[in-house]
Amino acid sequence: MLRVLAIVALAWLAVYLAWRIGWTLGDGSPVLSAVLLVAEASGWISLLFLTWFGWRLPAAGRPVAAGTPSVDVYVCTYDEPLRVLRATLAGCAALSHEHATYVLDDGRRPEVAALAREWGAEYLTREDNANAKAGNINAALGRTSGELVFVLDADHVPLPDALDALVGYFDDPGVVAVQSPHDFSNHDSIQHYEVGRHEQSIFFGVVSPGKDRHNAAFWCGSAAMLRRGALIAIGGVATETIAEDFHTTIRLHDNGGRTRYHDEVLVQGLAPHDLASYLLQRDRWARGNLAVLATPESPLRARGLTWRQRLSYLGSLFAYLAGPTRALLLAVLASILWTGALPFEATPLTIGLLWAPATVLAIAAGSALGRGYQTVADTTHFELLTAEIHLRALRCVVRPGRSRFRVTPKEGIDVGGWHALRQLRLLGALVLALGLGLVVRALDELGLIAFPGELSGMALWLIPALGVVELARLLRTLRSVGRRRQLRVEYRVPACGAAILSVEGHATPRLVRLRDISPVGLGLAADAPLEPGDRATATLDVHGADGRARRIKLRLEVRSCRPDGATWRIGARADPVSGDDGRELIALCAIAHPWGRLRRQDSPAPDAPPRPTADEATGRELVSA
């Protein structure tokens, strides 16, 4: 059904575009007609690529490794906060497959060296920061010896079975890289729709499995395993652009290597928390990837690529036109409202038989091909958010320049409001153009003002109706950004279970319920209130990813207390009582909780290394109490 819908939509759009080219170009404003035709053709090509990628999704599965290749885990860092890096190293320490972990620190920080030693990792640095992350990895390749390299960004925490899931692919000597999805633990980020579903979900859930069918999956910077010998054979990671991952994969393919995509979440990262961080990241991706077109490894010029790989890479780059195309359509609509000039003339019959069905079918097919990972409203929202930065990035196709690699901030808050809205200047201009255009057109039709450029016939109601729809979409995006508030530095994961609370000044401990927790705070449900500023010690019994009981003791400072039905909801800042408590708290939030969400709740991590734990009998007594 999905394939039939996609084919019908593409065919109807093709007929519509043929009609536009053959029968309408000389009817209305030549400029508006040409601009609109370019935007419409771009939409047809985008749907064609989505159909090609999403035609069939291969069955997910793990190949069983015949041998035990040596694996080096590279954790790349520059200026990320220690608490972010600590969670990643906790994940690396819990990896069940034998490996060596290396912290590649381009910040040359003594405290990072100490943190690496604490978690059993090797610390590597270099004298300069030439070529940013690419140079950092290349420097490490010459100082390590693992057959395979698992690359992680500083904020990407691996699940215990991450290496086990990937090493089997490399039994095939032709496989040079395997990419796994990027998923994120901070579900309150600006790019999340809901828990487990975010803006990148459609790429990793639909597009990347499609690329796997065409031997065109590419390294996405992190959560990927690469064959060390293949990297060395092409001279290391590409340094000519800031899209070292995308660029390097083309070289690997050009050299005859094969890549795979493993469709299972193995790593939990941190998504950009606010609009500024999101736009910074997307701008870097766009400029870096588009700049590849100006290099010898351009998908248009690289000689070793198959036609499927070439088309797949071009499809990825073509996606950067989505936002600018939407802005172009809105500009055409605003121009019609202000001038009355139409891009083409059509009868109600041709609009009803060609334009309307083509539009409805394209929307329906795009939504169906998204397979629930992204709705039409979601797509529109993020196209609007990225329209301006992707429009600016298009210059990199012909004049890439030398872009500076800027690390996406990994922590912070989002206050929304004017601070966020002022970053969307293009959207503000489009709102003014459409909004004022609709007002002026309405006043003209009511006879209150005389405005040049008349709309007549079906255009008299169709153009304003489209203007209202698009203005509502723009205002919804601006409202979402302006009203957004995210005031916690670290996301609190949901948690349940009992805790014993010993409050200073009170002789009798209290039994409370745990609601949520992070490495720096927690939420409790209690039968009696506490005052902000009260201090207490909380004793928690929890289970790790390996299914074993842990006891964690935390010092609390109450920050808030408010009624919540028959109970009181308490928010508190938390500090571990000991170093072991701190490590267990990080493991609970960064490893055990994602493991429970992404794997079966009753499935412990495979052969996870044992960690220090409290006496389990005493833990059972606490739960009984």
pLDDT tens digits, 377-386: 999 999 999 9
Q: What is the pLDDT of residue 403?
A: 65
Q: How many Å separate Cα 297 from the centre of its chain? A: 26
71-305 under CATH 1.20.140.10, yes or no: no
- The answer for residues whose C-beta is within 8 angstroms of residue 389's C-beta and 6 or more apart is 279, 282, 283, 286, 323
Which stretches in the chain have pLDDT values below 50?
608-625
Give the tokens for residue 422: 């002022």
Amino acid at 496: C
SS3 61: coil
Closest CA to 112 of 60, 160, 75, 62: 75
Give DSSP secondary structure letters for 257-301: -EEEE--S--EEE----SHHHHHHHHHHHHHHHHHGGGSTT-TTT
**Cα Rg of the chain, angstroms:** 27
Q: What is the pLDDT of residue 603?
A: 58
Cα–Cα distance measured from residue 316 to residue 293, given in angstroms and rounded to the nearest whole number = 12
Domain boundaries defined on the chain: 2-55+321-483, 71-305, 493-624
Q: How far is CA 189 from CA 81, 193, 196, 613, in A?
A: 18, 9, 11, 33
SS3 179: strand
Cα–Cα distance measured from residue 206 to residue 133, given in angstroms and rounded to the nearest whole number = 28
Paired with 425 in beta bridges are none
Q: What is the pLDDT of residue 454?
A: 86
Q: Which residues of 262-284 are buried (b: 16+ CB within 10 A; e: fewer)?
A: bbbbbbbbbbbbbbbbbbbbbbb
Give DSSP secondary structure letters for 558-605: EEEEEEETTEEEEEEEEEESSHHHHHHHHHIIIIIHHHHHHS-TT---
Q: What is the pLDDT of residue 408?
A: 83
Architecture of the domain delimited by 493-624: Beta Barrel (2.40)
Q: What is the pLDDT of residue 544?
A: 80
Q: How far is CA 494 from CA 491, 516, 573, in A?
A: 10, 4, 16
Cα–Cα distance measured from residue 190 to residue 156, given in angstroms and rounded to the nearest whole number = 18
Residue with tokens 């939420």: 523
Q: Return the ∠ at Cα 575 (arms to 571 and 577), rounded to 5°.
A: 130
